[in-house]
Structure 1
Amino acid sequence: MSSDANDFARSMGIATSALRAQSGRMRVISENIANADSTASTAGGDPYRRKVPTFSSALDRALDAQVVTLGRIKTDNSDFHVKYEPSNPAADATGHVKYPNVNPVIEMTDMREAQRSYEANLNIISATRRMIQRTLDILKI
């Protein structure tokens, strides 16, 4: 494979790894949003705890390039939101209910950032495909 072909493959491989990582990030954010108003299944228990995706760098030997991967999914250990709701089945002995430590505004901001990164990587793949096609068109002449 020529050097230019390797460069094209490397660009597409790196962008594809980023698409996978951002897709995983969006999945975690979606789970957080879906559970934002959930409560514990038992009285006084802990509700859903927000998850935070991490990224890591990995060497793709086939591409001879550093690519991004979705790393460990960590839990956010910040405090739960507590409301006084004595009639709620999830209330503790004092009538307080714990709600997840999920802030929907933060989650939507993170989702938008992940979406923009995903779109940027799609644009890289599209631009690379256009360059490959133009190169092939030139070679046909």
Structure 2
Amino acid sequence: MSDLRNSVAAAASGMQAQAERLRHVSENIANADTPGYRRKMVSFEAAMNAGQSTGLVETGRVQLDKTALPSVFDPSHPLANENGFYDGSNVDLVIELADAREAQRSYEANLKMFDQSRQMSRGLLDLLRR
């Protein structure tokens, strides 16, 4: 029964991590046209307990993409310098959509693992009742 509980916990931690990743992807897409906005990226790390790996995953610190911000020419923009340029956003919508799809599929895989563990637990309990 402990193994089933561990598999449910692993699936739940994976779903939580992918949900956080999807939240950051959504923020990036929402701010794609915000001047000076840097893309947020999240990493995954193994969860540790007293120096031992628990088999769970958690999100690491949010990091900002360090690629250069593109210079946008628009002399009428309020942030434009004397040459008419301002810093744009380094969010690439194609990359964000690919990240969103990957997070969605990983979330669905963890959800299926969660559901499979739940069904196995139910089957075990049914066997024990007989």
Q: TM-score under structure 1 normalisation?
A: 0.85
Instruction: Report the 3-state secondary structure (helix = DSSP H, G, I; strand = E; otherwise coil) of the residue aligned with 1:58.
Output: strand
| Partners of 1:13 and 1:60 in 2: CA distance | 14
Cα deviation digits, residues 80-120 of structure 1 (max 9, x gap): 12221111112111101221100011001001100100110
How many pairs are equivalent?
128
Q: Residue 24 in 1 paired to residue 13 in 2?
A: no
CA contact (8 A) 1:85 1:95 kept: yes
| Alignment gaps of 5+ in structure 1 | 40-46
Instruction: Report the 3-state secondary structure (helix = DSSP H, G, I; strand = E; otherwise coil) of the residue aligned with 2:44.
Output: strand
- Residue 84 of structure 1 corresponds to 73
| 1:139 Cα offset (Å) | 2.2
Deviating beyond 3 angstroms after TM superposition, the runs of 4 or more aligned structure 1 residues are none
- Residue 102 of structure 2 corresponds to 113
Instruction: Report the 3-state secondary structure (helix = DSSP H, G, I; strand = E; otherwise coil) of the residue aligned with 2:76.
Output: coil
| Partners of 2:29 and 2:80 in 1: CA distance | 22
| 1:59 Cα offset (Å) | 2.6
Amino acid in structure 2 at the alignment position of 1:11: S
Q: CA-atom RMSD, angstroms? A: 1.4
| Alignment gaps of 5+ in structure 2 | none
| 1:122 Cα offset (Å) | 0.5
| Residue identity (%) | 41
Q: TM-score under structure 2 normalisation?
A: 0.92
- Residue 32 of structure 2 corresponds to 36
